[in-house]
Structure 1
Amino acid sequence: MKTRKITLAAMLLFVAAFTACKKDNDDPIKEGIERAELTFTEVEGYAHGDHFHDLADMAGATPIVVKFNNKGAAISGGHMHIEAEAIYKIELKAWDYTGKEVQNDFIANKATADQYKAFMVGGNFILNTATTDESGAIFQPRETTYGDGTAVSGSGGIGTTGIVSYFTVGHSNEGPTKEVSFILRKLNAGVKANITRNDWNRTDYATVFGGEDVLKLNLEVHAEEGHVH
């Protein structure tokens, strides 16, 4: 009887270990993010309300790379000097503890992407929708395809996530350094459909849009007038 009990216990441990390993392999995000980067690259285009028009790569633009540790603290490039009226393409990269890039796992397909949304919180920005001269801030998640190659769906940017996004501080927000956080949030079922383009800077995002933060990357932005070297 004692031998049978030991054998049964060993079998249960094996099954539990196998199940845990299988779950980890199926969900590479589960173990968390070891490090991340945000790359800001100036692009052509112009602001209109809560979004941009005619976005295009700019020849000769020098990317600004901000690197973060597993706590979301910037370890390189975390105090940024950018041109207030310029538009920047923001590209997220993230690595799990196995060294695998995982940012595209968040938008692998529509069903997966429906669980995630990026926010840019903090800074007390004057939003572009609150100005009459298009001089405010805009943050626009703007992927065009999911990882499986299908087109991103949803009107008004609802289907977008923020692995690729575009950002301008705007002339109205020039001045002192602003502390901001790039946040990627895993949302409860059905929540993403309620998020509009104007919700990106809400300080109460965590209360209004139920879920949990997957990434919170903290940096400082100093917006200046004219060309920034």
Structure 2
Amino acid sequence: MKKLSLFAIIFTILLSTSCSKDDPTPEIDQEEVNAAELVFTEVEREAHGDHYHYNEIENPDVEHVKFSKEGLPEVGTHLHLEVGKTYKLELIAKDFAGRETQQTFVQRADIHQAFILGAPEGTFEYAYADRDADNNKIQVGVTGYLTVAKEADTFVFRYIMRHLNPGVKANITAADWNNKDFAKFTGANDIDLQVEVHVVSDHGHDH
């Protein structure tokens, strides 16, 4: 009887040790966003046949818009973008410790996609500029080039980073970057940022 009890104790210990080794350790959610920022940096768009090259310029116009955890900018914030200009649009996301986490969306490109909404049809043109760890072009929208094609009345610019359900990304094309029906791509929004935008001509703008 004593031998049987001893065997049971040893078996329980071994089983417990085995489970502790095999069970995965829960990961900290690297997509938990506590604050975000959109950066618009003016660049040069140069035509090359059927595509464009985007080049840095000296003394570019740079606009920073910072958002709270709720996706809202400071009261009174509005953004001016100029017709005919191209801007490098970058998302910066930070966790509760202030660490940048936007690269997580690129690393998990198969389940993430940005959508840029709110502008009247034809106001913007967009090209993805994301690169994976092997420097291959990928389609996420953490980094991209936004060209202002024409003037528009004031509108609310909306940037969404959507966390997609498995397999959904295969149904999204580059042309869906501003798809108003983005919710059909099932999932949830990791980020939803909104800011008032004025699109102005090159002769100046009215505050």
TM class by smaller structure: 0.7 to 0.9
Match of 1:192 in 2: 169
Q: Secondary structure at the match of 1:74?
A: coil
1:220 and 2:196 aligned = yes
2:144 to 145, 149, 165: 165
* Alpha-carbon offset, residue 228 of structure 1: 4.9
Give 1:149-160 correspondences, 5 Å limit.
149-153=133-137, 159-160=138-139
Q: CA deviation at 1:151?
A: 2.7
Cα–Cα, structure 1 residues 64 and 228, in superposed 2: closer, same or farther, change >3 Å?
farther
Q: Deviations over 1:66-91 (max 9, x none)?
A: 00000100127841111011100011
SS across alignment from 1:23: coil
More strand per residue? 2
Residue equivalent to 2:13: none
Q: Aligned residues, how many?
A: 185
For 1:54-133, what aligned pairs fall within 5 Å after superposition?
Answer: 54-75=53-74, 78-108=77-107, 112-126=108-122
Decide which structure has the larger Cα Rg and report it.
Answer: 2
Amino acid of the structure 1 residue aligned with 2:118: G
Aligned letter for 2:44?
E
Tell me what 2:125 maps to. 138
Query: For structure 1, which runs of at least 5 residues remain unmatched after alignment?
Result: 1-14, 127-135, 154-158
* 2:43 aligned residue: 43
Asked if 1 retains the 8 angstrom alpha-carbon contact of 2:120 and 2:152, the reply is no
User: What RMSD in Å do the two structures reach over aligned CA positions?
Assistant: 2.7
Write the letter of the residue equivalent to 1:170: A
Unaligned residue ranges in structure 2 (runs of 5+):
1-18
Q: Which runs of 4+ in 1 moved over 6 A?
A: none
Q: 1:36 to 1:77 in 2, by over 3 A?
A: farther
Give 1:192 shift: 1.6
Aligned position for 1:156: none
User: Could you state the TM-score of these two structures normalised by the residue count of structure 2?
Assistant: 0.79
Q: Equivalents in 1 of 2:126, 2:159: separation in Å?
A: 10
CA shift, 1:227, in A, is 5.5
User: Shift of the alpha carbon at 1:142?
Assistant: 1.4
Q: Give me the whole-angstrom Cα distance separating, in 1, the residues matched to 2:95 and 2:203.
A: 36
Shift in Å at residue 24 of structure 1? 3.8
Partner of 1:33: 33
Match of 1:131 in 2: none
TM-score normalized by the length of structure 1: 0.72
